[in-house]
Amino acid sequence: MIRIQQLKLRVGHTDGELEEKICRLLRCKPQDLLSYEIRRRSIDARKKPELYYNYTIDCHMTDQRQTLKRAGKGVCIAQEPRYRFPESGSVLPGHPPVIVGTGPAGLFCGLMLAKYGYRPLLVERGTDVDTRIQDVARFWETGELNPLSNVQFGEGGAGTFSDGKLNTLVKDPAGRNREVLRLFVKAGADASILYDSKPHIGTDALVSIIKNIRKEIQDWGGTVRFNAKVTGILHDKGKITNVIINDTESIPCETVVLATGHSARDTFQMLFDTGLTMESKEFAAGFRVEHRQSAINLSQYGMADVAQTGAAPYKVTAQTASGRGVYSFCMCPGGWVVNASTEEGRLAVNGMSYSDRAGRNANSAIIVSVKKSDFPSDHPLAGIAFQRTLEEAAYQAGGGKIPVQRLEDFRAVFATRTKENVRMAKTGHSTDICSFSCNQPKEVRQVFRQTSERVCEPFRPCIKGQYVFADLTNVLPEEMTRAFLEGMEQFSHKIKGFADGDTLISAVESRTSSPVRILRDETYQGSLKGAYPCGEGAGYAGGILSAAMDGLRIAETIRKQYCPYT
C-alpha cells in the first residue's frame, strides 16, 4: 500500500477532484488506482477565509513498485501498527473477571474479554443509559440529584454527557488507538472518526453506541449489572478473593479490573482502606468559559458561516508569572455547559456538545494547574479534599445553582477584593478571601447591581441545569484566580475577543482528571494480586480514547495470564 502525505484541497471539493489529485501526485492513470482510504484529515486555516483540507491517503495500486518510481515527494510505503490481541495464557481462571465500572475503560476491557471467551461480569453503581438520561434531565430541571445516577455515574461513564471527543496524545505503537476507533464505528459511530484529526461523536450519538457495545458484550457471553455498587473487596495473603456488591452480596473472583472513573470518591476511600497502594496526583481546575460560536468561527476560520466545516474549535495554552500553566480543556464547539455534580452541597460543571455542534455558544474549560502543595495534606486522597473545597465554594456562590459571571465583573470584583485584603493585612486583620465574602464593600455591591441589570442582554449562557448570576471570585484560591486572569489576557492575543467583558464564566471545573493514582506494577496489577487499576479514575488515562485504550491493555494482560473458558 502506498501513502500520500500532505495532499491539500480546498474545503468543499468533490470526490472526483480528490481522485484526480491523487492520480496527479502518483503520476498514474485512473485505472491504476484500485482503491484509496483516507487515513487523516485536518483543516488548514492559515490563509483564512480560504480553508483547505490536508489529507493523508493510503492507495492500492495495480503496480506498487512502478508507482513509487514515478511518484513525487510525499509518497511512501504505508506503515501502520496493526492491532493484535495476544494468544491466551496457560492458567484457567477459577471465576470470571469482574470489571468495576462501565465507562470507556470498563466497556472496552469487557468487550475484548467477552469476545475471547472470558465471560466477564461488569458491575455499575449507576443505571442503564436510558434510565440515566431521565435522571440527568430531572436533575437539570429540578436540582434533585441522584448520587448514583448522574452526569458522572452510570452506563457509559462521564464521557456520555460530553462532546464525545476522541483525541489523545498517547503514543500508540500497538495500534490500540485505531482499534478503539474501529470498534466505535462498528457500534454505530460515523466513519469520519477514523480519519478526522479532531474526531468527536456527540453525546446524542453516544447513547445508542454504548447500548450496542453492551449488547455485543452480552452476545459474547458477558454479563452487565446496573445498580451494583462495589462496596468492598476481600483478599487473602495479598490476593483478591471476593468483591462485595451493595454491602450484601459476595462474588468470588481472582481478577478485578478497577475502571471506576475519576469521580468515584467513596470507592477510592474503600480501596485505600482495603490496602491498595495509591498516591495523590496533580490535576487542574478552573472555570467553564463561553463565547459566541460565530465569534470563534470568525477568529479561527475567517468566516461566521461554517456550514462546510462545522463549528470551529480552538486550543490555547499559556505559562503565567507564577509558574502555573493555564490551558483550554474539553473544548465544546456549539456546545452546552452542564451541571455535573455528584455530591449534595457541592457543584461541578462540565461541557458537552451534540453531534451537530449547532449550539449558539462555544465553551471550554480554562483551567489552571494544581500543585500538590495546594492540597491540605500529603495524604493520598488529599486531592479529593481539595476538589471538594472548590465545589463547596461553587455551590455556595450559586446557592445550589450553577454560578455564572461576566468576565468584566469578575475582574472588577477580584481587583476590589484583593485591594481590601491588602488593606486588612496591613491593619492586622484576616486576609482569608472566603471570610471576606460575607462583608463585601460598597464597590463590590455596586458591581452586582450592574450584573443583575445586564442579564437581559442578548448574549446568554447555554447551560443544562439551573443557573444564577453570582460572584465567582471566592471559588479558586487567589493565586489560581490571578493565573486564570493572566491566561485569559494571553489568549486574547491569539483569539480576538477571548477576554472581552461579555465573556461568561461558570464554576467550577474540577473534574478534569483523577486526583488519585492507584499504583500498578509491570504486570499492571496493584499492590493486591489480581487487582488491575484501569483507565482515567485509576490515573492512567485522560479522556474517552485513552481510557478505552487502557481497557484494551488490561484485557491483553489478563489474556496473557489466563486461558478462556471456551
User: Mean pLDDT in the chain?
Assistant: 91
pLDDT digits (tens, 9 = 90+) for 228-255: 999 999 999 999 999 999 999 999 999 9
Does the pLDDT of residue 15 top 60, yes or no?
yes
- Residue 190's pLDDT band (cuts 50, 70, 90): very high
Beta strand 50-61 with 2-10 is antiparallel
Beta strand 402-406 with 467-469 is parallel
Which residues face 103 on adjacent strands? none
pLDDT digits (tens, 9 = 90+) for 358-405: 999 999 999 999 999 999 999 999 999 999 999 999 999 999 999 999
Does the pLDDT of residue 299 top 60, yes or no?
yes
Q: 544 with 535: CB under 8 angstroms?
A: no
Does the pLDDT of residue 1 top 70, yes or no?
yes
- Residue 423's pLDDT band (cuts 50, 70, 90): low
* Dist. CA 37–CA 182, nearest whole Å: 14
Name the helix (H) or strand (E) containing 58: strand 50-61
Q: What is the model's pLDDT at position 440?
A: 46
In one-letter notation, the amino acid at residue 136 is V
pLDDT digits (tens, 9 = 90+) for 210-219: 999 999 999 9
Q: 216 with 110: CB under 8 angstroms?
A: no
Asked whether the CA dihedral 243, 248, 249, 250 is positive or negative, the reply is: positive
Q: What is the model's pLDDT at position 420?
A: 60
Mean pLDDT calculated for residue range 487-506: 96
Name the helix (H) or strand (E) containing 5: strand 2-10
Residues 6+ apart with CB under 8 A from 316: 327, 328, 366, 487, 490, 491, 494, 495, 498
Which residues face 351 on adjacent strands? 337
Mean pLDDT calculated for residue range 470-494: 97
Q: What is the model's pLDDT at position 92?
A: 85
Q: 362, 271, 349: which is closest to 316 by C-alpha?
A: 362
pLDDT digits (tens, 9 = 90+) for 430-449: 433 333 333 444 554 454 44
pTM here is 0.91
Q: What is the model's pLDDT at position 495?
A: 95
- Residue whose entry in the numeric block shows the C-alpha cell 458522572: 152
Tell me whether the omega of the peptide bond preceding residue 49 falls within 30 degrees of 0, making it cis. yes
Beta strand 256-258 with 531-533 is parallel
pLDDT digits (tens, 9 = 90+) for 143-173: 999 999 999 999 999 988 887 788 877 778 8
